[in-house]
Structure 1
Amino acid sequence: MIAKDETGPTRRTVLKRVGLGVVGAGVVAAVGVPVVKNLTRRDPPVTSLPRTAPLRIDQVTVVDPRDGSRSPGMTVVVRDGRIASVSATKDTPAAKDIWTIAGADRFVVPGYNNMHTHVLQEERASLFLATMLAEGTTGMRQMAGDDDLLRYRAEGRLPLGLHAPGLLGMPGDLLMPWNAGSVEEVREEITRQKDLGADFVKLISVDRDVFFEAVEWAHRQGLKIAGHLPPSVSPSEAARAGYDSMEHLGTGSCLWIESSSQEETLRGQQDLTGPVPGWFANLPFAGWLFSTDVVTNMTAKMLINPAMSNSPESVGLMRRALDSFSETAAREMVRHFAESSTWQTPTLVRLRTQYLADHPEYDDHPWMKMLPARTVSDFREVRARFTALPADTRATYRQYYDMSLRMVKRLHDAGVPILTGTDGPGTNPADLHTEFRELAAAGLRPLDVLRTVTTEPAAYLGRTDRMGAVAAGMDADFLLLDSDPLEDVKNFASIAAVVRAGHFLPRQQIDSVVEQLLAAAP
């Protein structure tokens, strides 16, 4: 399955090359591996959370992201996976039937929600899920699914046990030319996915008329729709159509073209073709072929950094768009986002590894220890090729990322809702706390960043009655921090313990599970 979610023209270029390459190599060779896999694959076992015991945590400071308040000297009582009460410790009566923990004046915040992850597609899913929990992630939006993953969820077969975040939402198959090649097909596919239990629709690249029909039909089915933007649809057009969530700042150069004083000229120079040749996308086996591990393996190295597949022409177009940036045009575009409540999930941590791949931070990043040796080798090879790119190309990429940070601040200042996501785990460093750091570098205050990972996800999902705050009646998914998160985003990582669905998990326990899974990884 094509699992990784990358940015704009790069992604399309990669898939074009893969499509032609697969056809050239011959279909027979491509069929072998998937057939063997399907004959030998076994469904994963059923997984469930154990029952919880009543829990009481005394003497903590409860931080409420909704209003930025701190309430010291509080007790949080948890029963049956829900928060039963939050009250002053001095006023909370003692009880013999409850496990009581001394909070020692730590700070309690809602659990973090990673709103763009691909973790359930990973071979080492259990390891990465435990790593996410260690980062304080108690909820996640899985951004790509398929029929099997939807069935596994319905049957309780996803690896979502005690040491994993909860699943907040998952789509079915990504909307692409082979399953959404026409208005009729996209209706059928969205309806099919809803029947299978998809929570929302994820769109990658379709024709212009199909895009607008996909948005309307998803909404008719009661589903949100999120993802990339086809090059034939401008960001403002997508916002006005009701596109719910735009990922990776729209992908590619689309935001910068619309923010350019030369928009009309640059838009006329865009490559408006789809991700694969039309004749190939329409072949009967195209969709199946692109869902197999053959193509995934072929594209793995290219998708480590899609910027490496950019043509000189696309880099030149990007440079001209950035150099002709218009504050007036950008303000108008952002206004459409705000008026249409078009949510943004920037995934800065992913854009950073793509456009700043030569940064010394990636010489020997701690993330690498969790990846298979071959993946680490591929990452280093691709990174070496990036550092050998022409200086003006890398300068354009640095400018792209700097402008992305500034755009995030513009979005926030205009009231455009922002969600935190990493686009990981994948083959690149994609930790949540680096995303926090980058959001702060963009100019967001610690409270603003905290909201992107707590209250904003709750609002986007329509679950403000169950998540986004530590209060009576909320799900018992929260963190104990050693340091005040409202003082510095660095303190978001000072996790002493995670309460996940009412289970109290000290950080040392989660770290121990991570180490065990890492040692057992193939």
Structure 2
Amino acid sequence: MRFATGILIGALLTLARTPAAAQEAVAITNVSVIPMDRERVLADQTVLVRGGRIVAVGPAASVPVPADARRVDGAGKWLIPGLTDMHAHLFSDGPVPDSVAADELRIMLANGVTTARLMIGTPEQLPLRARVASGEIPGPTLFLASPQFAGRRYGEPHFNGVVVATPEEARAAVRQVADQGYDFIKLTLFISLPVYEAIVDEAARRGIKVIGHVDPQVGLARALAAGQQIEHLAMYFEAALRDGAPMTGSVSDYFIYRAANWESVDWLDDAKLDSLGRATAAAGVWSTPTLTFFKLAFGTGQPDSVIQARLDYAVLPDSLRRQMVAGRDYYWRNPPSAARRARYVEARNRIVRAIHQAGGRILAGSDSPELFLVYGWSLHRELQSLVEAGLPPYAALEAATRNPAEWLGTLAESGTVEPGKRADLVLLDADPLADIRNTQRIAGVMRAGRWHPAPELARMIDESAARIRASLP
């Protein structure tokens, strides 16, 4: 009885903290539902939401709509679960003032992102996560990686990390960030193998997952054996060099800026790329390949005319625009050959295809904001890149809905359109299974039962972009 009473009290407290807009009943009628429990479309459905939860999904003719419910006409539209960006950052982690962090989250939400994993933790993100959870500010549900673990400081003045140069430092850092409330251990650069082993061991003791980059000192094989969740396809190229190649290094991570390393692309072995994809699936390791950023930044390029035509360009303060132009030009002043860049893009796509075809799991992550690519819009571009890599539209959509929920351990709460799930939903004007680009055609977004129609979303973007843009010279 005490257990049941506790559940009742907890539910009442949750309801009391839920904004009135999320407590109202909302009925999305006559809509085509892509539930993401398996590949199918449920035509002419009514989805009823109350108290932030989906309470009914069924044929429009058989689901009664309460008299007090707000009706949303879904005729000719498609309903999908809210999208998850599994690799996002905030400008306010660096030079932009923390005061606009809420605006950054509003832009994500307005683009249909109802859950986001922030990949380099800062102390300011912890209360931000709580403010979203309480309904104080609109935004995606946040999962927070730790401050980055690195073997030495780099990227000043915004390192946002902890140096782990010894196994003892590594174990202490794992315990500290776990106690502080971060959800994962994020690895970046310059991590030695003894330090890596200490991190993996201590994280297992604390029941916290290890995610992020793979250092050359560790290598892909060890990361796969450890079950680390790998970002950016780190160290796959190095592991795919042909036998007898005259080099061991390639173009993963920061090595991509080393002109001499691009020769290694000529020595990639397709059979090894495919084998590594199968090995990833066999190891049960989930991959966030972040295809779009690496393709546009280092493969195909981003001309000014294309950059400035994007909606996300309006978010960027002038000083950040200048920094990004300088970063782009540093690489493109003397780029690798077009043939090598094309091979680089296709090799990354090939690894992703191989992982998927072997039954491995892909997570959609944008790594935005990076080089003119801003959160929200860039997740949609990542879904397009996954399809261009060879994934079917359903698999790409799964990478931003069901797969993240399963990896995060929240599938009982989110990731599909089913009764009992949190009402995180995106209403689209066209079918994303026919063309994945249709995920951008957003008619409305619901987060935890709070409905935001398209005109409100446009205002959120415009107002938040103006504040972010004005936050720096």
TM-score range, shorter chain: 0.7 to 0.9
| 1:108–1:480 Cα contact (<8 Å) kept | yes
| 2:278–2:358 Cα contact (<8 Å) kept | yes
What TM-score does the superposition give when structure 2 sets the normalisation length?
0.84
| 1:420–1:453 Cα contact (<8 Å) kept | yes
Q: 1:137 aligns with which of 113, 123, 127?
A: 113
CA distance in 1, matches of 2:261, 2:333: 21
CA distance in 2, matches of 1:131, 1:464: 25
1:319 aligns with 2:319: no
CA distance in 1, matches of 2:270, 2:335: 29
Deviation at 1:507, TM superposition (A): 1.5
Give the aligned partner of residue 92 of structure 1.
Answer: 63
Local SS of the residue matching 2:230: strand
Local SS of the residue matching 1:78: strand
Deviation at 1:358, TM superposition (A): 3.3
Give the aligned partner of residue 292 of structure 1.
Answer: none
Kindly provide the CA deviation profile for residues 439-496 of structure 1, in whole angstroms up to 9, marking residues without a partner as x.
1110111101110001100111122111111110111001111111111101111110
Tell me: CA distance 1:390–1:310, structure 2 relative to 1, closer, same or farther (3 Å): closer
Local SS of the residue matching 2:334: coil
CA distance in 1, matches of 2:348, 2:251: 22
Give the aligned partner of residue 75 of structure 1.
Answer: 46
Q: 1:379 aligns with which of 307, 311, 324?
A: 324
Structure 1 residues 383-392 or 227-236, which shifts more? 383-392
Letter of the aligned partner of 1:388 in structure 2? R
1:339 aligns with 2:282: yes
Give the aligned partner of residue 207 of structure 1.
Answer: 192
Local SS of the residue matching 1:380: helix
Letter of the aligned partner of 2:413 in structure 1? R
Give the aligned partner of residue 183 of structure 1.
Answer: 167
1:419 aligns with 2:355: no
Give the aligned partner of residue 13 of structure 2.
Answer: none
Q: 1:520 aligns with which of 455, 467, 473?
A: 467
Give the aligned partner of residue 257 of structure 1.
Answer: 238
| 2:133–2:141 Cα contact (<8 Å) kept | no
Kindly provide the CA deviation profile for residues 201-238 of structure 1, in whole angstroms up to 9, marking residues without a partner as x.
10112111111221222122111110001111221221
Tell me: CA distance 1:102–1:199, structure 2 relative to 1, closer, same or farther (3 Å): same
Letter of the aligned partner of 1:429 in structure 2? L
CA distance in 2, matches of 1:246, 1:125: 27
Local SS of the residue matching 1:56: strand
CA distance in 2, matches of 1:468, 1:485: 16
| 2:110–2:460 Cα contact (<8 Å) kept | no
CA distance in 2, matches of 1:385, 1:499: 41
CA distance in 2, matches of 1:129, 1:151: 13
Deviation at 1:374, TM superposition (A): 1.6
Q: 2:78 aligns with which of 107, 118, 123?
A: 107
1:172 aligns with 2:146: yes
CA distance in 1, matches of 2:398, 2:412: 16
Report the number of matched residues: 430
Tell me: CA distance 1:159–1:318, structure 2 relative to 1, closer, same or farther (3 Å): farther
Give the aligned partner of residue 10 of structure 2.
Answer: none
| 1:72–1:105 Cα contact (<8 Å) kept | no
| 2:114–2:140 Cα contact (<8 Å) kept | yes
Structure 1 residues 127-136 or 382-391, which shifts more? 382-391
CA distance in 2, matches of 1:112, 1:106: 17
Tell me: CA distance 1:161–1:106, structure 2 relative to 1, closer, same or farther (3 Å): farther
Give the aligned partner of residue 219 of structure 1.
Answer: 204
Q: 1:402 aligns with which of 333, 346, 355?
A: 346
Deviation at 1:145, TM superposition (A): 0.7
Give the aligned partner of residue 155 of structure 2.
Answer: none
Q: 2:222 aligns with which of 220, 237, 247?
A: 237
Tell me: CA distance 1:352–1:190, structure 2 relative to 1, closer, same or farther (3 Å): same
Local SS of the residue matching 1:147: coil
Q: 1:483 aligns with which of 412, 418, 430?
A: 430
Deviation at 1:240, TM superposition (A): 0.8
Local SS of the residue matching 1:364: helix
Q: 1:498 aligns with which of 419, 438, 445?
A: 445
Tell me: CA distance 1:438–1:121, structure 2 relative to 1, closer, same or farther (3 Å): same
1:469 aligns with 2:416: yes
Tell me: CA distance 1:490–1:331, structure 2 relative to 1, closer, same or farther (3 Å): closer
Q: What residue ranges of structure 2 are gaps of 5+ in the alignment?
A: 1-16, 153-162
| 1:111–1:138 Cα contact (<8 Å) kept | yes
Deviation at 1:102, TM superposition (A): 2.2
1:50 aligns with 2:19: yes
Identity, in percent, stands at 28
Kindly provide the CA deviation profile for residues 58-94 of structure 1, in whole angstroms up to 9, marking residues without a partner as x.
1111112231111112111111111111122211224
CA RMSD of aligned residues (A): 2.6
CA distance in 2, matches of 1:264, 1:217: 36
Kindly provide the CA deviation profile for residues 98-156 of structure 1, in whole angstroms up to 9, marking residues without a partner as x.
222222232111011000001262624333322222221111011011334335545x3
Local SS of the residue matching 1:202: strand
Tell me: CA distance 1:97–1:158, structure 2 relative to 1, closer, same or farther (3 Å): closer
CA distance in 1, matches of 2:369, 2:406: 25
Tell me: CA distance 1:235–1:263, structure 2 relative to 1, closer, same or farther (3 Å): farther
CA distance in 2, matches of 1:362, 1:208: 42
CA distance in 1, matches of 2:308, 2:187: 34
| 2:83–2:112 Cα contact (<8 Å) kept | yes
1:266 aligns with 2:238: no
| 1:108–1:481 Cα contact (<8 Å) kept | yes
| 1:63–1:70 Cα contact (<8 Å) kept | yes
CA distance in 1, matches of 2:289, 2:168: 31
Local SS of the residue matching 1:474: coil
